[in-house]
Amino acid sequence: MGQGGEPRRPQPRDGELGAAVARAQDGDETAFAVAYRIVQPGLLGYLRGLVGDDAEDVASDAWLEIARDLGRFRGDGAGFRGWTATIARHRALDHLRRQRVRPRAAQLEQDALELPGRHSTHDQALESLSTERALDLVRGLPRDQAEAVLLRVVVGLDGPAAARVLGKRPGAVRTAAYRGLRRLARQLGTDRVTDADPPTLGESG
């Protein structure tokens, strides 16, 4: 279980990923390719949400660093997802700085202050979309919400892991993800969470 009783949602291939990473650390290049194939789709989706069309270039830079520092990684498959997302985020922010593009300031709207309940509509909101359309919608969110949604839904991290990537408290990341998913659900006409109990906001990291 995660922080605040939140269930950890393991990704279907985390066991396979952890085994591949362990073999790759022992010098197995084929195993590194397996880890790459498992992680890359989610990582690329996350980067598209941050840097748009430059995502593949940034991902390439991130994988060079991942390969270089692989021997220092300690953890399981889920941990590897978080570690690679942290590296990719740093490369993306470096890229944005080089491009002199300021991250969009978060614009809190009154309706974003209403949080949905524990049973989020993110599956309903995203399952019927093509990846490209979903990412376009996510890019329209305030920065903190977009990153939280991308890390939770696209990369597949749990709340505490996403918080570590962003350097924030788990409760803040969970709140940002709920706000972003609420907006997406409303845009897609799948907002069915208004009567549910609000989430606990007193979580700490």
pLDDT grade, residue 116 (50/70/90)? very low
Other Cβ atoms within 10 Å of 23 Cβ, number: 16
How far is 205 from 203, CA to CA, in rounded Å?
7
pLDDT above 80 (res 105): no
pLDDT grade, residue 140 (50/70/90)? confident
Assess contact for 80 and 18: CB atoms under 8 A. yes
pTM of the model: 0.70
The share of the chain scoring above pLDDT 90, in percent, equals 45
Burial grade of 97 (CB within 10 A; 0-12, 13-18, 19 or more): exposed
Mean pLDDT in residue range 84-92 = 95
Q: Number of helices (H) and strands (E), helices first, in the chain?
A: 9, 0
Question: Rounded mean pLDDT of the chain?
Answer: 77
How far is 17 from 22, CA to CA, in rounded Å?
9
Other Cβ atoms within 10 Å of 94 Cβ, number: 12
pLDDT above 90 (res 111): no
Q: Note the maximum CA span of the chain.
A: 53
Q: Output Rg (C-alpha) for the chain, integer angstroms.
A: 17
The reported pLDDT for the residue numbered 114 is 35
Assess contact for 119 and 193: CB atoms under 8 A. yes
How far is 202 from 151, CA to CA, in rounded Å?
21
Of the two residues 149 and 100, the one the predictor is more confident about is: 149
Residue 129: both structure tokens together: 């979309």
Mean pLDDT in residue range 163-180 = 92
The share of the chain scoring above pLDDT 70, in percent, equals 70
Q: Which residues contact 45 (CB under 8 A, 6 or more apart)?
A: 131, 135, 150, 154, 155
pLDDT grade, residue 27 (50/70/90)? very high
Residue 151: both structure tokens together: 């890390």
